[in-house]
Structure formats: structure tokens, C-alpha cells
Structure 1
């Protein structure tokens, strides 16, 4: 079912994330559901310059690599999200500049709704997953649990994860997530957030779309 066109599209989308500086060097990883299988960036690979030989083809059900390429060490939560969320086809783990600053703060913000794009696209609430060693079963379990009913999460002292029905939706969430964090950091903490009433009013703007 997975074709060469699928692989080339996956590589192109990985480079797109790198071009937007959502990932640098070997940070971050990407996955894409195609039927019962998933493409996942390989362990140790550089997403911004991902090459064909670093793309793993895995069974979603059991995580087995079908082409001999070892998937990212974070494949546990990629596959877990794909198993738990049939509405999700793309998962992106990234470490953009300002969102990662906030992930590493001692007193990090709890409300990211600085502009309408956040509740409309990223989510009205962004849960924080406590720090666990990258690649650990504990981290995978924490991310999967947080993303059962959210589309974006912050990983304490680590980075971020977003998901979407397609590449554009996941990319949009990541970019607006980073935008909100940039506003918060560059304002020196002197920012305002939308009120609950203002967020409720946005349902008209997005035609009743519910965000997580």
C-alpha cells in the first residue's frame, strides 16, 4: 500500500518542518498513517534533511519495522497516538525555539490563548507531560494519555507534540503553538489572554468547530 510517492511526500513534509525551524539537526520526529502502516522518521535521523534510507515503514498494531529501518526512539508515542486516535493521521514531535523555552521554564504559563488562532487551531488547553527520559516507556505512556483528548501537548524540559488529520493541520498547530510562545516570551510576561467568553464567541468564527 505504501508507494514511492508516499515516501517522497513524507520526506518533503519533514523538510518543510525543518525549513520552518520546528526541528533542528536530530531533534524531533514525524509519522504518517497510511492504512495499517505508518512512515516514521528513523532513529537518529535529521528531520530537516531526512533521506529515503532513514524512513521506517512500521506496522501500527505492533510497531514492527517492515523495511529494516529502525524508527525514532519516540515511535512508542507516535504509534500509540495512531492506535488511540483514528481521527489522527500525522504526529509531529518538535522542539521549536520559543515553545521549548517555555517547556524549560520553572514557572511556565498555563494559558496559551493569546490570539484567536490558539483556541481555534492549537487547543484551548495544552496539557504538560512531566519530564521523562526521551524514548522511555514512561514518556510514551504520558504523551499518549495526554493526547487522548488533546491535539497539542507540552513536554516539560523537552519539547512539544501535535497531531492532525493531515500534514497541513499538524503543521498549522505547531506553527501557531510556536507563535503563541514567541508572543509570551518576547512580551516579557506582559501579555493578555482571551477570556472564556471571547473563546466561546469564536465558535461562530470557526462555524461551530470544537477544539481540544
Structure 2
């Protein structure tokens, strides 16, 4: 059951995203699973100054709107990712300056692992999704498919999507995604990336995923 406290927390996190420069005006959207229901920023809403009357509440399984507020036109992939990923509770679609510049390049980088934070938090592999019209079923299907086994994706000529177990994890992924793209842009393309062995070393000793 969604409470007023849930809504206030959701609004505070939306404003945090805006304050960090991850969204501008009506760009981007955010969702949060609470039990069997999902809070979503409303269609046309400005995430940086999201008001209570622009917070939609939907049923996770059916997408039924429970409070009369129309959710973001990207609700299809928000709900789809949450259905496919029981380990995920927050989905964030953002359009930060450098990561969106990379999304609009004629050729996207094949490797974003410029610092250890990228494979540790954003993902050693970041799928690049072809351009589909924002809000389209094709875009939703592509994002859902890519995020079944990835936590971050780049949308060509559009933006980015990350997910997380909570607000902090999704926010961290978005911020390090933007940091990596800032390095890529500011280096003028003259950047190095971690080798597979260096990433494997991180997985062993930092993330504890493998036995030394």
C-alpha cells in the first residue's frame, strides 16, 4: 500500500536526480517498486521539481493506474524491467550532458571501462540500443531485453537507463555512467580502458565475485 511517506520519499529522490544534473526540465523519468505497486513520474512532468500531483501509482503486473495520474510515456520499459528483475526496485531514465553527447555520436564507444568504477558499478558491458521513438513499444521491448542481464544501457540519440536495488544504487550507476562519458568526451577520444585481466582482478578482489 503506497503511503504519503512513500510519495514524499519518491519526490525527494526525483529532486536529487535533478539537482545532480541528470535530467533537465521534462527529460527523463523514474520509477520505484513498493510491494506490488509502482510509483512513476507522471507524463510530461519535470523530474527536478516533481510535485505530488504528478506522481502516478500503478499496479506492477497490469500497469493499471490507481490514482488517476497518467504515468510517463516510458512506463512500458519501467514496468517491464521491474517485472523481469525481482532484484531491482528502482529504474531511472536520464539524459545527462556527457552521456547524452556520447549517445548522439555517430559511433558509440565499444568500451566504457575508463576507470574501475565503471565495471564495478555501471557494468563492464553497456549495451547500446538503436534509436526507437521515445515511448514506443519497440523501445520498451529493447530496453527490457537488454536489462534482463545488464544494469545500464545507452539509447542512441536519446539517453540512458539504469536500474538498482534502491535509489542509491541507481543514482550511483547514473553518476558513474556520466563520469565515464565525461572522460571519453574530454579526452578527445584519446583514452585508455581497463583490460579484461584488470576487470577480472576487480571482480576477484573488490567485488568478491571470484575466488582468488
TM-score by length of 1: 0.98
Distance 2:153 2:47 in 1: 20
Distance 1:154 1:208 in 2: 27
Distance 1:45 1:107 in 2: 31
Greater alpha carbon shift after TM alignment, 4-13 vs 199-208:
199-208
What is the correspondence of 1:1-212 to structure 2 with a 5 Å cutoff? 1-209=1-209
Distance 1:207 1:77 in 2: 28
In the TM superposition, residue 205 of structure 1 has moved relative to its aligned partner by: 3.4
Q: Secondary structure at the match of 1:153?
A: strand
User: Tell me, which stretches of 5 or more residues in structure 1 are unaligned?
Assistant: none
Q: Is the 8 A contact 2:15 2:50 kept in 1?
A: yes
Distance 1:133 1:89 in 2: 25
Distance 1:207 1:165 in 2: 16
RMSD: 0.9
Task: Name the count of aligned residue pairs.
Answer: 210
Distance 2:105 2:118 in 1: 20
The runs of at least 4 consecutive aligned structure 1 residues that moved more than 4 Å come to: none
Distance 2:83 2:106 in 1: 33
In the TM superposition, residue 209 of structure 1 has moved relative to its aligned partner by: 4.0
Distance 2:203 2:134 in 1: 37
User: Tell me, which stretches of 5 or more residues in structure 2 are unaligned?
Assistant: none
TM-score by length of 2: 0.98
